[in-house]
Structure formats: C-alpha cells, structure tokens
Amino acid sequence: MADEIVGVDLRSDHLEDALRLQIIDRAAPLEEAVVDADVIVLATPVQQSINLLMELAKLPLPPNCVVTDVGGTKREVCRHALEILPAHISFIGGHPMAGSEKSGIRAASPRLFENAVYVLTPRTDEKKEAVERIRTLVEATGAQILILDPERHDRLVAAISHLPHVVAAQLVDQVADLGEEDPLYAVLAAGGFRDVTRVASGHPGLWREILLTNGDSIRPLLMEWKRRISLLDQWIEKNDGEAIETFFRKAADWRDALPVRGRGAIRPAYQCTVDVPDEPGTIGRIATLLGQHEINLRNIGILESREGDNGQLILTFADETSRNDAVRLLESGGYSVHVRA
C-alpha cells in the first residue's frame, strides 16, 4: 500500500475531481511531487512521456525511485529513458491492455485492469527489486503480468491492435466518402458495420503518436496487407470460389479458437442483444429494470439491421460481470437475450 498518492496534471479541474473522488491524496507541481517518490507513473501519450522524462532528468529524484509509463508503444520511450535518466534511476516500461472510449479522471474504474494483460518491458540488466516493485503495484490491480522486450512488444501490438485500428479507420473513411453521394450508406452502417469498425473511434491524437512511434513495425504489416488484398482481388477476378472459401474458413476457424474470456490488446465489448418489439416504452422498461438492480449500463442502441444479430436492442456494459448479471435478469423477466461473442 502506498503511504501517499500525489497527482500532477496541467488541468486544475482534473486534480479537483481526483481529490474529490479520493483517487489522490494531494495535488502538487511535478518538481514537488517527485521529491520523495518511490514510484513515478507517467500516464500520458508516448511523446509527452518522453518530454516528461527530460524534465525528470533535471530534478533531484530519490536514489531508489522507479519510473514507469502506460504508453501503447514501448521501444521509443524505453530508448529515451535509457539515454535521458540518470543511471541510478530505474525505468520499467508498461502497457496496460485495457481501457475504454472514455477518458479523464471521471471515467476511472477500480476494475479497469482486472484480468487484463499488463505488459512490462524492463531492460535485461534492470535491478530485480525495481521490477518487483512495479510488478507488485500492477498485480494489486488484478492485472496479469507479461514480461516482454520493447521491440517484441511493438511488433505484437502492431499486428493485433495497431493494424486493426488503421484498417477500421480506412473502412470508415471509405464509406464516409461514399455516403456523401448516397445517404443510405450511413443508414445501413448503423448495424454490423458500426460494430466491426468500433475501434475507429479511438482518440486521433493518440493514434497519430502510435503510428509515428511504431512505424517500423506497422509499415511492413501494411505492405503485407496490400499484398493480401491484391491476392483477394485476383481470386474474385478469376472467380476462384475455392480460394475465397478457404480464406474465409481459415479466418473463421482461427478467430473462433481465440479464448473468449481473455482480454487482449483491443478493449473487449461486453454486449448482448435483446429481441424486443418495436413499440414505445420498451427501452425505458429495460433500462429501469437494470437500474433497479444496480446493473451499470454503459450504452444502449437500436439495431436498424438484424443481419448477424438475434435481437433489435444492443446493450453494452463496462465489464463481463455486469453483462452476465443483466443477461440473467432479463431472461428471468421473459426476454430473449443473446450474448455477443
């Protein structure tokens, strides 16, 4: 347990919220906050973390202080930490593979890291006590520790997180351009298209930094993506149904074999659909029922298209427990509910 948690932020209203919610014990300027710090957590985008490392290097940090971060790429920040920080200061790169589309202190959740993979990227020669200090801190949140070197981390997340975000954004951009000529694109996109491109709603500034700090890993994947798209185009042109079916079967088999309960690099969506009649008061009755049983509903929407879905109403929850509680409650109330895989 920490004796004291000190918050540093450029925005005073964020610090006021953190104090009111008892997330921090006090607020202070950076130079004051780090005077007796055992652990410094840089919870900023990668480039800002690098700038903060330069500021920290000018301050009299305690001898046993350990610095860590929560950025989505690791190679650049770890390299700068090695070059910038004094030799007696340990830096343990960190990447919690959890989060939501919401940001700011008001979106904080004590269960955010529960069962999520949390990658640590210490140097191979890093002091064991420094690594264990961060490991102990992270494990207290319920996260699962995975130790990787920064280069391997960046290669892995480039394929399973960064490329999917780029592809989703490209799909949205393409359909948005088509929608300028025909408004029906937007109407039909309210169904499955909106779900499969959910990750395209990520923070633009954050994704700018991810692509710029992990370009060496992302660009080869984009080249391979272009090759595979070209190959698919050739199959369509040649009416090669066997190759097309084999492609979709391989993708479906691998996707279906993925662990259902795991939490990886892309935030999971805990959702279910409810088969309800299109009549006034339906949404209100379901929301009231969930509220009466203190089940936190993050989002609620209507599926204009039922393609691939068994229901008209889609409910999104903050975590798996809330989703499962809602399913049991609604089923006991006579509703037909389907969990989204």
Q: What is the pLDDT of residues 198-237, one digit of tens each?
A: 788 888 888 899 999 999 999 999 999 999 999 999 999 9
- Confidence at residue 252, expressed as pLDDT on a 0 to 100 scale: 92
- Rounded to an integer, the average pLDDT of 287-305 is 81
Q: The domain 6-150: what is its CATH number?
A: 3.40.50.720
Distances (CA, A) of 221 to 155, 173, 217: 10, 20, 7
Question: Minimal CA–CA distance to 83: which of 45, 57, 115, 112?
Answer: 57
Q: In whole angstroms, what separates CA 138 from the centre of its chain? A: 17
- Confidence at residue 259, expressed as pLDDT on a 0 to 100 scale: 67
Higher per-residue confidence, 247 vs 262: 247
CB 15 within 8 Å of CB 24:
yes
- Tokens 């984009």 correspond to 222
CB 300 within 8 Å of CB 233:
no
Task: List the chain domain ranges.
Answer: 6-150, 153-256, 270-339
The helix/strand/coil state of 39 is strand
Could you give the dihedral angle defined by the CA atoms of residues 104, 110, 111 and 113, in that order, rounded to the nearest 10 degrees?
70
Q: Tell me: pLDDT of 90 over 60.
A: yes
For residue 55, count other CB atoms closer than 10 A to its CB: 12
Q: Tell me: pLDDT of 278 over 80.
A: no
Q: Which fold has domain 153-256?
A: 6-phosphogluconate dehydrogenase C-terminal fold (1.10.3660)
Percent over 70 (pLDDT), the chain: 92
- Rounded to an integer, the average pLDDT of 262-275 is 71
CB 120 within 8 Å of CB 131:
yes
For residue 73, count other CB atoms closer than 10 A to its CB: 26
Q: Tell me: pLDDT of 103 over 80.
A: no
- Rounded to an integer, the average pLDDT of 56-74 is 94
308: confidence class by pLDDT, cuts 50, 70, 90: very low
- CATH assignment of 270-339, among 3.30.70.260, 3.30.460.10, 3.30.70.2200, 1.10.132.50: 3.30.70.260
The two beta strands, 39-42 and 66-69, are: parallel
Q: Which residues contact 137 (CB under 8 A, 6 or more apart)?
A: 39
Q: Tell me: pLDDT of 304 over 70.
A: no
